[in-house]
C-alpha cells in the first residue's frame, strides 16, 4: 500500500437532478436527501483514497447557504482533506445549477469523517493525504483543528 497519496487523487464528482420525489412542499430539495448524496459522495472519496470500504464515523457540519430547487442539477465535489491513522476527513462542496435560469451557486459545504475497514469491519491504516495547492493546504490544516475540536468534545461527553 502507498504511504502517501495526493489529495486530488481522492476527488469524486457526482451530479444529481432534483426530481419531484426529492423535494418538500415548497419545491425545495429535502435536506435529508442532500445529506444522503453528500454521504455517498464522501464515502466514495474515502474509498478511492484508501482502497477500502469506508464507514461514516461522524458528520461534523453541513451548512445550508440557500435552497436548491426542483429541476436544479446538484454537483457534489468531495476530496479527502486529511488522513490520520485509520480515519479521514472528507470535505464536500455542493453546487446548484439551474440550466433554465443559467445560474450556478455554491449551496452547501460539509465535513465528514470516515474510517477505512477490512473485510471483518476492523479499522485499517490509510495512506497520508498530501496537499499540493494552497486551497488543499488550507483545508489540510483546518482538518486537524476540526479533529482536535471533535476529540475535545468527545472527552467532555464521556
Q: What is the pLDDT of residue 150?
A: 83
Q: From CA 27, how far away is CA 29, in angstroms rounded?
A: 7
Whether the predicted pLDDT of 157 surpasses 70: no
Cβ proximity of 16 and 87 under 8 Å: no
Q: What CA–CA distance (Å, rounded) separates 117 from 18?
A: 32
The tens digit of pLDDT for each residue in 46-95 reads: 999 999 999 999 998 788 888 999 999 999 999 999 999 999 999 999 99
Enumerate the domain spans of the chain.
Answer: 4-157
Q: Is the pLDDT of residue 1 over 70?
A: no
* C-alpha separations of 51 from 34, 37, 93, 114, 116 in Å: 25, 20, 22, 13, 8
| pTM: predicted TM-score of the whole model, two decimal places | 0.92
* CATH H-level, domain 4-157: superfamily: Hotdog Thioesterase (3.10.129.10)
The answer to whether 114 touches 56, Cβ cutoff 8 Å, is yes
Query: Which of the four pLDDT bands, split at 50, 70 and 90, describes residue 158?
Result: low
Q: Quick one: pLDDT band at residue 38, thresholds 50, 70, 90?
A: very high
Amino acid at each position: 500500500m502507498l504511504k502517501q497519496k495526493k489529495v486530488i487523487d481522492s476527488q469524486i464528482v457526482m451530479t444529481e437532478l432534483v426530481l419531484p420525489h426529492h423535494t418538500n412542499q415548497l419545491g425545495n430539495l429535502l435536506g435529508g436527501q442532500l445529506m444522503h448524496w453528500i454521504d455517498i459522495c464522501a464515502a466514495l472519496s474515502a474509498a478511492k483514497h484508501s482502497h477500502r470500504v469506508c464507514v461514516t464515523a461522524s458528520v461534523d457540519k453541513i451548512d445550508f447557504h440557500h435552497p436548491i430547487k426542483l429541476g436544479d442539477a446538484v454537483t457534489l465535489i468531495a476530496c479527502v482533506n486529511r488522513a490520520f491513522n485509520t480515519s479521514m476527513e472528507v470535505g464536500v462542496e455542493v453546487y446548484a445549477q439551474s440550466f433554465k435560469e443559467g445560474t450556478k451557486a455554491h449551496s452547501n459545504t460539509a465535513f465528514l469523517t470516515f474510517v477505512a475497514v477490512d473485510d471483518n469491519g476492523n479499522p485499517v491504516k490509510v495512506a497520508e493525504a498530501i496537499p499540493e495547492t494552497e486551497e488543499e493546504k488550507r483545508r489540510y490544516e483546518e482538518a486537524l483543528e476540526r479533529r482536535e475540536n471533535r476529540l475535545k468534545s468527545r472527552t467532555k461527553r464521556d
